[in-house]
Amino acid sequence: MAERDETWLGLRRDAKPLVIAGLALGVGLGGFFDGIFFHQILQIHNMLSSYPDSSVATDLELNVMADGFFHLATYTFTIIGLVLFSRAWRFHPVPKSGRIVLGAVIMGWGVFNVVEGLVDHQLLGLHHVWPAGPGPIILWDAAFLLWGALFTVGGYLVIRSDSAAVPGASGEAVAADGNGSE
């Protein structure tokens, strides 16, 4: 019983496998959205479109290949998330909660935006959200980071809104079989 009373990030420890799986899936889905929407549909940037060497930044073949490696990484995160979900449901007594899963996926998408925005946009300068858009480049990059922060916090709040995730909440304890009854 003592193990169930422990917490992880302010959540019940038995929710941890679902949250970790959702984070991985959210990172993958957030990356897919970024690549498909910004890189392919809107075509406002590619992975290396702001690289300091203009011969790299304007090389469409190289940028498409870099986008492909980016999509390979997002695909990998998506598969890892799905495998972790499968393992969580098969091998751990986790709450049967769609809200925990949804919140964790939103949180993972936010984490993707924050990390990608800080690393690729700011630290490495590989590309920016909308370099040719109206207003300064930093405005679009900051909006992307704010979106990521809001998704990260919002996803956590969605998880916390489920009594199955909150320590000491009135929800039923999760039994060893994961069915919510002891």
- Cα–Cα distance, 39 to 36 (Å, whole number): 6
**Measured between alpha carbons, how far is 17 from 24 in angstroms, rounded to an integer?**
11
Indicate the pLDDT class of residue 177, thresholds 50, 70 and 90. very low
Q: What is the pLDDT of residues 11-64, one digit of tens each?
A: 999 999 999 999 999 999 999 999 999 999 999 999 999 999 999 999 999 999
Phi-psi region of 175 (alpha: psi -120 to 50; beta: other; left: phi over 0): beta
pLDDT over 60 at 117, yes or no: yes
What's the pLDDT score for residue 176?
Answer: 45
**Residue 94, Cα to own-chain centre: how many angstroms?**
20
CA distance to 25, 32, 165, 169, per residue, from 176 (Å)? 25, 36, 16, 18
- Residue 170: pLDDT band (50, 70, 90) is low
What residue spans define the domains of the chain? 2-160
92 pLDDT above the threshold of 90: no
Residue 95 has pLDDT above 60, yes or no: yes
Average pLDDT over residues 65-76: 97
